[in-house]
A and B are shown apart, each in its own frame.
Chain A
Amino acid sequence: MTRKKKHFTRLGFAAGALCVLSAAVVLAEADSPAQPEAPAVPAGKAIARMRELSKNDRWMGLIEEFENEDFSAWPEAAEAFHMRGVGYLHLKDAPKAERDLKEAVERDPEEGFFWYNLAETCHALLKDDARALDAYRKAFELEDNFGWMPAAAAVKAVNILLYQVRNDEALDILRRYRDEDMEKLPPYWRFHILRAYARTYAAQGREAEARVKFRQALIVESTV
């Protein structure tokens, strides 16, 4: 399946904590400019409305308006399921969040943000770290860049792996972030990645390397 090009607006992501219910991923534009205009169907207005509600973190309103909507026939069905799933994630409704986010990833398995929020649901609401880890890994692999989402997915996957004492696997995930690439990360995520490195080294008993990373993380954090 060819991956659709999408532009994301990232809103209000407060990361670092284990319980991450603040992930807000909003699809701003459905298709690339090169594609023809979508036909003026009612779903077009509806998806715009959903995007507006998502953008403003009005999750309760989104659920109230679209709770019973069947998105199956919508051109942007995957996006719609994703937005409603994120709404349920925010409202801590685990079964419905899982249902909609699973639907989203089934319809568009190449979209890392969908996997990310499914991972958040599995981790924070369903307490299913095995599935959360798989989904974080998927999200991380699909978004091969230095944006916030793969960084957040990496930090959270590392956290799960450290709790399972799978320390080498945790380090493998972090290898994307080489010393020379650290500047490419936004500072907020740079110190989180540095700290993930530090914790991984500490768990491996590599104290000297951990000490360096902990110190670097504190320095970067102080600038944020």
Chain B
Amino acid sequence: MRNELIKPIITAAVLCVAFSGCATRPLPLYAGTGKVDITPAQPVISAEGQSFRLPDNTPPEKRTPLGNVHDPLYARVVVLKNKNVSFAIVSADLMLFSSKRVIDEARKRWSIEHVILSATHTHSGMVPRGLCPTAGGWEWRSAEADPGELLNWPALSEDPWYAETEDKIIAAIGEAAGNLFPARLAAGKGTYESIYLGHNRRLIRPAHGVVPRSVITLWDNPTRMPTTPSDPTVGVIRIEDEARKPRAFMVHYACHPISMMGSSMITADFPGAMTDYIERQLGDSCMAMFLQGAAGDINPYETNMRGAYGLNMTRQAGIALAKAALGVSENLPSPEEPKAVVQVKESMLDIADREGNKSSAACVASVVINRDLALVAMPGEIFVQHQLNLSERSSIPNTFLLGIAYCGLGSPFLNYIPTAQAVEEGGYGATQFSFVAADAGDRMVDAAVAAIDELVGE
């Protein structure tokens, strides 16, 4: 499969496989947006409430009712292009979306060199068929190889819904690439302590007497007890046209969208409410987009909610995040000229398995714009400490780590990427549902920092 093609070329720990946008002189920047509804016509998800795509022969009583679409799922696209480089970022309201076909087609049909597919990770969207390694499980640790090896990713397209979704996203990239406008890009960030989102769900109980240290998974935290680490940072990327009218508004934040998980309802969760609010505030000509951060251990304070209460709280969470992002944007000056230096580097890493007897190929894609904004894509559920480390170490003031993001190379999904400390502590996401070496996240951050330094010439 795909990894067999890649492995022979991975001879060093880090290998630059793609490098573009070498010019450091700002060039006229063009941007385009695309937005497409990817809500399944028949939301055939489990009647038990999980959003897994079921086989076609699943009896009706085991499917979620057709009317259970609360709000539509979208894929949103921003294309950035100058003379030297073209780049598309896609944010899909899905738990995971790692389609090599989309990236290949974008390159072939729309001449987009680099594509990052980022999933919002809503657990009330759709999980493509066949993503679980074994009967219904996500535990890859005992699997023979990583998901890139074991899963038949091209076969996901055999599911008509998945193929249709891929087609729609390819078309949306084309729409964005075909409607470019001179663009001014501004980026910034601010502190936002949400009362709805963003607590660390791993509660470490220190050893006490003969009772050893333990890790409790704090799925919910209704009292809003402070937990660490977390990253109360909201990142904003605003793209304006020549008339300084906002045309795209991207919000980066780290939190699992699991507010309505298991409710048998299709919803984009708080990212959907956030984008909806921003689009209403900024007008139809502006497309909002959510960029999921390193949310591997970050939850909303209330999860698995139900009914009108859950939907209201999810909406309030999204609106509050939107307001925080709009607040950050208010202080962002509009760039003088619609020009930018855009640089992209895709770094391949050979990541050892936790047991050290197999390995995975991981691609870390780094996009640097104007030495002011860096987007770093990693294909897994990254623990938030890595995001904090990357922000601290990066020479770019606005460095945003995108988790669950795939750039077309290496493994499409590496499951949880904990910290070495978390692996030592154990628990969900660290020793459960995580198969990569304990230093995998550190190495990916190292690779990103090195790539950013290289791109900015340090």
B320 within 8 A of A: yes
A205 touches B308 (CB 8 A): no
Q: A195 CA to B301 CA in the complex, in Å?
A: 14
Q: A162 CA to B196 CA in the complex, in Å?
A: 15
Which residues of B are interface residues toward A (Cβ below 8 A)? 193-196, 223-225, 307-309, 312-313, 316, 319-320
A130 within 8 A of B: no
What string of 1s and 0s marks CB contacts (under 8 Å) between A203-224 and chain B?
1110100110011011001000
* Shortest beta-carbon distance from B445 to chain A in Å: 31
* Shortest beta-carbon distance from B102 to chain A in Å: 36
A203 touches B316 (CB 8 A): yes
Q: A43 CA to B316 CA in the complex, in Å?
A: 57
* Shortest beta-carbon distance from A15 to chain B in Å: 15
**Chain B, residue nearest A201 (CB):** B195
The interface residues of chain A lying within 8 Å CB-to-CB of B223 are: 195, 214, 217-218, 221
Q: List 19 A-B contacts (CB under 8 A).
A: A163-B308, A164-B308, A165-B308, A198-B195, A202-B313, A202-B316, A203-B309, A203-B313, A203-B316, A205-B316, A205-B319, A205-B320, A207-B194, A207-B195, A207-B320, A210-B195, A211-B195, A218-B223, A221-B223
Pick the residue among A165, A195, A207, A221 that contacts B312 (CB under 8 A).
A165
**Chain A, residue nearest B315 (CB):** A205
Pick the residue among B224, B308, B320 that contacts A214 (CB under 8 A).
B224
**Chain B, residue nearest A164 (CB):** B308
Q: A167 CA to B316 CA in the complex, in Å?
A: 13
The interface residues of chain B lying within 8 Å CB-to-CB of A163 are: 307-309
What string of 1s and 0s marks CB contacts (under 8 Å) between A169-205 and chain B?
0000000000000000000000000010010001111
Q: A210 CA to B319 CA in the complex, in Å?
A: 15
The interface residues of chain A lying within 8 Å CB-to-CB of B307 are: 163
Number of interface residues, chain A, beta carbon within 8 A: 19
Known: A165-B308, A207-B316. 16 other contacts (CB 8 A): A163-B307, A163-B308, A165-B309, A165-B312, A167-B312, A202-B313, A203-B309, A203-B313, A203-B316, A205-B320, A211-B195, A214-B224, A215-B224, A217-B223, A218-B224, A221-B223
* B194, B225, B309, B313: residue with the most chain A Cβ atoms closer than 10 Å: B309
A162 touches B225 (CB 8 A): no
Chain A, range 125-172, C-beta contacts under 8 Å to B: 162-165, 167
Q: A204 CA to B316 CA in the complex, in Å?
A: 8
**Chain B, residue nearest A163 (CB):** B309
The interface residues of chain A lying within 8 Å CB-to-CB of B312 are: 165, 167, 203
* Shortest beta-carbon distance from B312 to chain A in Å: 5
B196 touches A202 (CB 8 A): yes
Q: A202 CA to B314 CA in the complex, in Å?
A: 11
The interface residues of chain A lying within 8 Å CB-to-CB of B309 are: 162-165, 203
Q: A123 CA to B225 CA in the complex, in Å?
A: 28
* Shortest beta-carbon distance from B23 to chain A in Å: 44
The 10 closest A-B pairs by CB, nearest first: A214-B224, A163-B309, A165-B308, A205-B316, A165-B312, A207-B320, A211-B195, A210-B195, A207-B195, A202-B195
The interface residues of chain B lying within 8 Å CB-to-CB of A165 are: 308-309, 312
B195 touches A214 (CB 8 A): yes
